[in-house]
Amino acid sequence: MSGRQHAGARTLILASLLLALVLVVPLQALEVGILEGEVVNETPGGPTPGEGLAVTLHTLRNGNELETRETTTDAEGRFRFEGLDRDPALEYWVEAVYEDAPYSSAMPVQFKADAETITATIPVYESSDDDSAVRLNSVHVIAESFGQVLRISEIHMFSNDGDRTFAGSGQGPSPGTTVFIPLPANAVGVAFSEEDPAGRYVEAEGGVWDTEPVTPGSDTSLVFLSYHLMVANQAAALERSFAYPVTAFNILATQPGLTLQSGQLIDQGTQSFQGRDYAFFVANDLQAGEKLLLNFVVDEAAAAGSAMPEAESQAAPSTTQPAGEGQQGLLRTMGIVLVCLALGAGVVYPLAIKRPRAAVPVAAAPALSDPRRRRLLEELADLEDAHEEGRLDEADYEQRRAQIYESLRSD
């Protein structure tokens, strides 16, 4: 091929590439979108957040985070992200930290057909050391019997009826502690969600302090904890109180094998969920510090033959939808798995939660001070986790569980 022919070929190739770019670039441009937003101070009289506040954009698909981007606000508190994929299956969620408290858009946003721009608002609040507006909107409890041991799982939903974020009163054992969570004196193996950040809870006499601020609104802070109670003479007593007023207290006791006795609770009968029966009790409008006295009576034969609730044995799919109406952001849904069922007038009961593993030391009651009994209870908790996660087959699980129960009985 001559030099002229080579030159012609190169020219043809370059022309083809240029034509491809001309055709492709407009098509790509149609698929790229913009997210515009604003950080708004919702505290009356509060200043505009102003310039330089960091805003993080999370891109999610089916609840899984794909990437994050960051920008800063202008003098009016506005922000902008460009070059976003307009795939309607993607969700975009923005968050910012203002006065050391995290805030996010109320809902993730998505591109719709032909929309090139979407908008999001991040409400923020001034901070306060006054917790008088903080309350427990609801406390949900599930009690499960394993013969000689009860497992108690609790979800505390904190609300703030004020217009400022409660960021701590300075009463805790260290800076930044916010609400206090009393723990039962006879609780063994207290644990919180493994998805909670390290150091979130600070141990103190009689319980733990949280370090997460409580922002204004309903159910804006969630605490999930679990612990075990030792059964003696087929019974276990639980004295429960809370540091803040409780609007609604609800407890589900697994059936068969577990009877709950208390003159302070209203018996709502038996409820059935996902093939499992629960005795359902409620109490309303508890005062801060008010003691609930609960007595569990165990039918060991029935409890020993009970399988783990189906809802806990199955992995729950992650979701990016808010867990409750009026709840800010995603209620930390990344990492905390909740499967909720509605009962009656909008009351929500979580029946499947990722097992907590971050143990918090708690002073042992005299009856539980025996190191051997505590070790056996810890082994039982590990055994339950291994069974639920599929790391232990049914035969080995039943055999080892029976051995632990027999050891507990013989002590």
**DSSP-assigned states of every residue in 339-359:** EEEEETTTEEEEEEEPPP-EE
pTM, whole model, 2 decimals? Answer: 0.71
pLDDT number for residue 379: 72
CA atoms within 13 A on the CB side of 19: 6
Q: What is the DSSP letter of 287?
A: P
How many of the other CB atoms lie within 10 Å of CB of 370?
Answer: 13
Task: For the chain, state the CA radius of gyration.
Answer: 27
Instruction: Give the number of other Cβ atoms within 10 Å of residue 93's Cβ.
Output: 23
Per DSSP, what are the bridge partners of residue 40?
123
Give the SS3 label for residue 140: strand
Structure tokens at 48: 């505009």
Cα(345)–Cα(339) distance, rounded to whole angstroms? 18
**What pLDDT score was predicted for residue 408?**
56
| Confidence at residue 400, expressed as pLDDT on a 0 to 100 scale | 78
Choose among 288, 206, 212: nearest CA to 244.
288
Token pair 């009356």 is at which residue?
A: 44
Measured CA angle at 223 (ends 217, 224), to 5 deg: 140
pLDDT at 27: 45
Per-residue confidence (pLDDT) for residue 356, from 0 to 100 = 41
pLDDT at 165: 96
Instruction: Collect all residues with Cβ–Cβ distance below 8 Å to 410 and sequence separation of at least 6.
Output: none
How does 23-60 read in b/e, with b if 16+ C-beta sit within 10 Å? eeeeeeeeeebbbebbbebbbeebeebeeebebebbbb
Coil, strand or helix: which one is 26? helix
325/357 Cα distance (integer angstroms)? 29
Supply the pLDDT for residue 193: 81
Question: Which whole-number Å values give the CA distances from 185 to 15, 207, 228, 230, in the listed order?
Answer: 80, 9, 11, 12
For the beta carbon of residue 15, count every other beta carbon within 10 angstroms: 10
Spatial distance between the Cα atoms of 178 and 168, rounded to a whole number of angstroms = 4
Q: Name the stretches of the chain with pLDDT < 70.
A: 1-30, 273-274, 300-378, 380-381, 384-385, 388-389, 402, 405-411
Give percent above pLDDT 90 in the chain.
50
pLDDT at 31: 75
Burial class (CB in 10 A: 0-12, 13-18, 19+), 318: middle
By C-alpha distance, which of 119, 35, 122 is closest to 330? 122
pLDDT of residue 146: 85
